[in-house]
Amino acid sequence: MLVFLDTEYTGLGQPEPKLLSLALVPANGLREFYAELADGEGWTHDDCSDFVRQEVLPLMKGGECLVTRIELRERLRTWFASMPESVQVACDSETDYRFLKAILANCWPDNLEKRYFDLRPIVDTTIFDRAVQCYYAEDRPMHNALADAQAYSLGWLAWTDAHRQGEGKN
């Protein structure tokens, strides 16, 4: 089963960005996962780029979504263990996958494949992009890890449906 991963972190292009939030959305849309690391759990407000301070931090949910790094690892392991079959992560960035690998470290779930499905070859196709852009709304904003992972899932479904029907040339 494909599971769409997205993360938010302290800044694009930083030599060592720090994880802020992580979301996983299965292709079937069930059992979504979302968590945020609290300020001080590996990152601080000062670590964030201006863009992240203006566009990403205001979209973080806080409250029960806030976890420590140790809680994040344990919640991820529990979440993957609840999945009924073999899981492969799909994402549009190796950075996202590196964050997942770093959190899971030596506690890699048995049902999680060790390689990710790279979405980069299809994210710029008209079909995928249109589905993703149509998903975003005020309550599902771009640059929130959960909304982005949900959007990628819908983009993937639109792209695969078009290819099954022979329409997916671009």
Q: What is the pLDDT of residue 161?
A: 87
Is the pLDDT at 169 greater than 60? The verdict is no
What pTM does this model have?
Answer: 0.93
Beta-bridge mates of residue 19: 9
* Residue 48 neighbours by CB under 8 Å, 6+ apart: 10, 11, 20, 56, 57
Q: What is the pLDDT of residue 106?
A: 86
Tokens of 145: 């890890």
Mind listing the pLDDT tens digit for each residue in 3-18?
999 999 999 999 999 9
Q: What is the pLDDT of residue 170?
A: 52
Between CA 155 and CA 169 the distance in angstroms is 15
What number is the average pLDDT over the span 137-163?
93
Mind listing the pLDDT tens digit for each residue in 38-94?
999 999 999 999 999 999 999 999 999 999 999 999 999 999 999 978 999 999 999
Q: Is 33 helix (H, G, I), strand (E, B) or coil?
A: strand
Domain 2-119: CATH architecture, name and number where available: 2-Layer Sandwich (3.30)
How far does the chain reach from its first CA to its final CA, in angstroms? 24
What number is the average pLDDT over the span 113-137?
93
